[in-house]
C-alpha cells in the first residue's frame, strides 16, 4: 500500500471532538482535510457535547444510523470546516483503561532480553491474553507533549530508558452490568484508535515484580484524536492467528476479528518500523471476553489496547529495536537507544484498502 494513498473519504468517516476559537467543543467526523460538524449537519443534543460518550452509549443501531446520515451530509459539502481552523480534543471521557500483551513476537523478544537463559514466554501466556489495568486519568490526545517521568531506577531520577509502545486501542460503547459477561464484540465496541503507551523501561524493570507495571507505565498514554468505527474496517477483518493449545471455550473466536492493519512508527520524521497488526496472537474479541469473564463490568468510554504491536523483523518498541540499548537505531546524523528530550514519535496506520486510522504523536519534554 502506497502510504500516500491512505484516505479519509466517505468510506472512512472517523469520529472526533473539535472546537473553533471561542466556540464549545462538539462532535465531528473527518472528511479529507475537513471536519463535518455533526451538530450543525444532523442536529441533536448527542452531537453538541464535548465527548463521544453519549453517542457511544446509544448502541450499534444508532451508530450505523449516524454513520449513514453523516455520509449523506458529507456528500453535500455543507457544514465542512477546514482542519486548519479547529483544535482537536480527547474524543472520549475515558472510563477505564486496560492494556494487553497480545503480540507473540513482542512477548518473546522481551522474554529473551530479560530472561536469556529461560523460556521466553511465561507458562500462562498462550492460555490467556495477559493484561493489566492502567491509569484512565493520564490518557491524553495526540499532540500532547509528554514529560519525561521520574522514579526509582533503582536510584531516583529521570528515566534513562524512555520508550514507546505502538498499539491499537478499542473503544467501548455499550456497557455491561457488574456480574455479567460481555456479548458479541461488535455489540459493545464502537471503534478503533491508535495508541502509544509510553514506557519508562528502567522504572518498570525495578518495580514490576511481583504485581506488574505501575509508575513505569502510568505517567502517560497517548491516543489518536480520531476513532475509526468498526463498520469502516469490514474489509480489513481477517481470521486470527492459529493458537496452540486451543484456548478455553470463552476465548474461542466466533467471528473473524483479526484486523489487517499496517502501522508505521516514525522517530523525528524517520520511519523505524512498520509492524503488522494482523500478526497478533490474541485478537480484540478475545481481549474483551477475557476482561469480563469474571463479571467485571464494562463502562461507556472504556479503552483497552493491544499492547505493543510487533511482527517478525518489525518491532513496535525501542527496547526490541535496539535490543535494550545494545544496537542503537541509526537516524540521519544521530543514533538512539531510547528516547531523548525533544524527540517526536508519530504512529500511523492503514488498511490494505487505504482506510487511514490517523495518527498518534507526542514530543518528549525534559523531566521537572
Other Cβ atoms within 10 Å of 65 Cβ, number: 12
Cα separations in angstroms, 79 against 41, 62, 68, 325: 6, 21, 16, 50
Written as nine digits, the cell of 338 is 531510547
Strands 356-365 and 146-147: parallel
Assign residue 13 a region (left: φ > 0; alpha: ψ between -120 and 50; beta: otherwise).
left
CB 352 within 8 Å of CB 1: yes
Spacing of C-alpha 193 from chain mean position = 5
Of these residues, 34, 89, 106, 188, which one is catalytic?
A: 106
Q: Is 223 exposed, middle or buried (0-12, 13-18, 19+ CB in 10 A)?
A: buried
- Is-catalytic flag, 79? no
Closest CA to 168 of 209, 112, 91, 228: 228
What DSSP line would sit under 230-282, residue for residue?
GGGGGGGEEPPPP-SSPPPGGGS-SS--EE--EEEEEETTEEEE--BGGG-SS
- Rounded Cα distance, 39 and 48, in Å: 5
Written as nine digits, the cell of 83 is 482542519
What DSSP line would sit under 159-172, residue for residue?
-S-EE--EEEEEEE
Which residue's entry shows cell 502510568? 218
Q: What are phi and psi of 54, to 5 degrees?
A: -60, -40
CB 228 within 8 Å of CB 30: no
Q: Which residues are catalytic?
A: 106
Amino acid at each position: 500500500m502506497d502510504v500516500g494513498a491512505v484516505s479519509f473519504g466517505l468510506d472512512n468517516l472517523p469520529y472526533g471532538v473539535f472546537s473553533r476559537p471561542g466556540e464549545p467543543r462538539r462532535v465531528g467526523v473527518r472528511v479529507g482535510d475537513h471536519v463535518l460538524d455533526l451538530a450543525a449537519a444532523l442536529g441533536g443534543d448527542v452531537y453538541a457535547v464535548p465527548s463521544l460518550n453519549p453517542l457511544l452509549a446509544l448502541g450499534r443501531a444508532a451508530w450505523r444510523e449516524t454513520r449513514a446520515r453523516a455520509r449523506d451530509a458529507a456528500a453535500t459539502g455543507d457544514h465542512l470546516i477546514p482542519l486548519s481552523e479547529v483544535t482537536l480534543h480527547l474524543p472520549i471521557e475515558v472510563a477505564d483503561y486496560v492494556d494487553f500483551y497480545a503480540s507473540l513476537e513482542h512477548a518473546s523478544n522481551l522474554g529473551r532480553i530479560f530472561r536469556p537463559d529461560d523460556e521466553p514466554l511465561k507458562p500462562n501466556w498462550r492460555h490467556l491474553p495477559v493484561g493489566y489495568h492502567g491509569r484512565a486519568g493520564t490518557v491524553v490526545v495526540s499532540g500532547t507533549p509528554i514529560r519525561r517521568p521520574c522514579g526509582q531506577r533503582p536510584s531516583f531520577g529521570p528515566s534513562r530508558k524512555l520508550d514507546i509502545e505502538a498499539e491499537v486501542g478499542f473503544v467501548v460503547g455499550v456497557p455491561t452490568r457488574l456480574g455479567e459477561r460481555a456479548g458479541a464484540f461488535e455489540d459493545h465496541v464502537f471503534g478503533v484508535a491508535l495508541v502509544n503507551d509510553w514506557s519508562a523501561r528502567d522504572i518498570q524493570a525495578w518495580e514490576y515484580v511481583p504485581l506488574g507495571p505501575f509508575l513505569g507505565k502510568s505517567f502517560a498514554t497517548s491516543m489518536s484524536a480520531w476513532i475509526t468505527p468498526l463498520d469502516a474496517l469490514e474489509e480489513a477483518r481477517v481470521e486470527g492467528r492459529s493458537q496452540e493449545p486451543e484456548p478455553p471455550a470463552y476465548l474461542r473466536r466466533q467471528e473473524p476479528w483479526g484486523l489487517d492493519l499496517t502501522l508505521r512508527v516514525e522517530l523525528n520524521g524517520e520511519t523505524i518500523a512498520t509492524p503488522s497488526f494482523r500478526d497478533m496472537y490474541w485478537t480484540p474479541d478475545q481481549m474483551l471476553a477475557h476482561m469480563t469473564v469474571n463479571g467485571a463490568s464494562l463502562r461507556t468510554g472504556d479503552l483497552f489496547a493491544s499492547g505493543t504491536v510487533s511482527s517478525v523483523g518489525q518491532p513496535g518498541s525501542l527496547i526490541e529495536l535496539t535490543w535494550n540499548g545494545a544496537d542503537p537505531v541509526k537516524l540521519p546524523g544521530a543514533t538512539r537507544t531510547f528516547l531523548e528530550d525533544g524527540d517526536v514519535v508519530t504512529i500511523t496506520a492503514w488498511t490494505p484498502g487505504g482506510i487511514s486510522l490517523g495518527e498518534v504523536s507526542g514530543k518528549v519534554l525534559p523531566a521537572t
